[in-house]
Amino acid sequence: MGKLVVLTLLGAVLALIGERLVAFRQRTNASRAVEPVDLPNCHLIEGLENGSEDIDILPNGLAFISSGLKYPGMPNFASDEPGQIFLMDLNEQNPRVQALNISDGFDKASFNPHGISTFIDKDHTVYLYVVNHPHMKSTVEKFKFEEQQRSLVHLKTIKHELLTSVNDIVVLGPEQFYATRDHYFTNFFLVLLEMIMDLRWTYVLFYSPKEVKVVAKGFSSANGITVSLDKKYIYVADVLAQNVHVLNKRGNWDLTQVKVIQLGTLVDNLTVDPDTGDILAGCHPNAMKLLIYNPEDPPGSEVLRIQDVLSEKPKISTKYANNGSVLQGSSVASVYHGKLLIGTVFHKALYCLF
């Protein structure tokens, strides 16, 4: 009788694991092939060879680009090199990237930048906030941008017990920001289990010097985050659920859900078109190719535009898609007056005119 119970339980566990593995393959679009969508005036950006995971463009056309992310389970072509922040002036006829110098006193050797967000103070000072993973931990680094010197002055390292496995950040005030937690566990094997079992234990938190709190939860893997042009709504990408959450920002910084937009692809970072308010999403059309990297069959890239975000039926269109022959593992797309930058987790970056 005891053996029968054990065998029954074992069979049930194996059946559950099997069902979850099948569901995980579906959620990662493991069988999806990319249908190409090309833009006519594009070229790879020279100098960005080891990723361009996140991009934030100032109103004056200066683009900050985070590069060199080392992320568990993801490919990395420069494991011995520290990460960098690059600058690109999109007002130039042929814009080029330039690595920004970082002030002394900051541990550049362990710099591992992930999501980034800029904030312009009342005196027009530009601050850059960077999600950093030194030694695979999570901090938020605050820098002051010195435009004339093309440099970053490190001002502060922000740590908190809720700032764990941080992915992205959107800054809305002096040291006031929302951040996403993309995994509950930090151990790689437990992270895999978490994804396969779809535990939905990740969240969005609000940080200020006076208060830190979870303001939205229940995500499979909360990823990119940004804010609407009128600052009333927060947009959050849930990469494994293949959707974007539209959340209303309350006066006390709490968030309430307005709607969820299903995309059918694994959405990474989000940006907002400054001219239209549309959401641009850097996406992974087949995430299994990210997790199991094969240079002969690399992960593709995809960029979606979401128009009429608050309407009953937002319009979703594919602006760019590639099977990995040009661009592998797109993570972000950002526009500035007819110019489009597409960044990747670990690969190159694309500059397009449209």
Q: Phi and psi for 304 in degrees, rounded to 5?
A: -115, 150
Q: pLDDT of 147-175, one tens digit each?
A: 999 999 999 999 999 999 999 999 999 99
In a domain, 11, yes or no: no
Q: Is 132 annotated as a binding residue?
A: no
d(CA 340, CA 214): 33
List the domain range (segments joined by +) for residue 124: 32-353
pLDDT at 77: 83
Q: Is 114 a catalytic residue?
A: yes
Query: Does 140 map to a domain?
Result: yes
Q: Using 50, 70 and 90 to split pLDDT, how confident is the model at 17?
A: confident
Q: What percent of the chain has pLDDT over 70?
A: 95
CB-based contact 167:181 (threshold 8 Å): yes
For 209, the token pair is 């010097």
Asked whether residue 107 is marked as a ligand-binding residue, the answer is no
Ligand-binding site membership of 80 (annotated) = no
Phi first, then psi, for residue 343 (nearest 5°) are -105, 165
* Residues 46-61, mean pLDDT to the nearest whole number: 97
The residue from 43, 114, 124, 183 that is catalytic is 114
222's CB contacts (< 8 A; 6+ apart) are 167, 180, 181, 182, 202, 203, 204, 216, 236, 237, 238
**Do the Cβ atoms of 99 and 84 come closer than 8 Å?**
yes
Rounded Cα distance between 244 and 295, Å, is 30
User: In the structure encoding, which two tokens stand for residue 265, read together?
Assistant: 């692809």
With beta carbons less than 8 A apart as the criterion, state whether 239 and 284 touch: yes
**How many independent structural domains does the chain possess?**
1
DSSP collapsed to 3 states, 113-135:
EEEEEEEECCCCCEEEEEEECHH
Instruction: Look at residue 105 and tell me if it is in a domain.
Output: yes
Q: Note whether residue 13 is domain-resident.
A: no
Output the domain CATH number for residue 335.
Answer: 2.120.10.30
Confidence of residue 48 (pLDDT cuts 50, 70, 90): very high
**Residue 10 counted as domain residue:** no
Side-chain half-sphere CA neighbours of 184 within 13 A: 15
Whether 231 maps to a domain, the answer reads: yes
Q: Is 197 a member of any domain?
A: yes
- 312 annotated binding-site participant: no
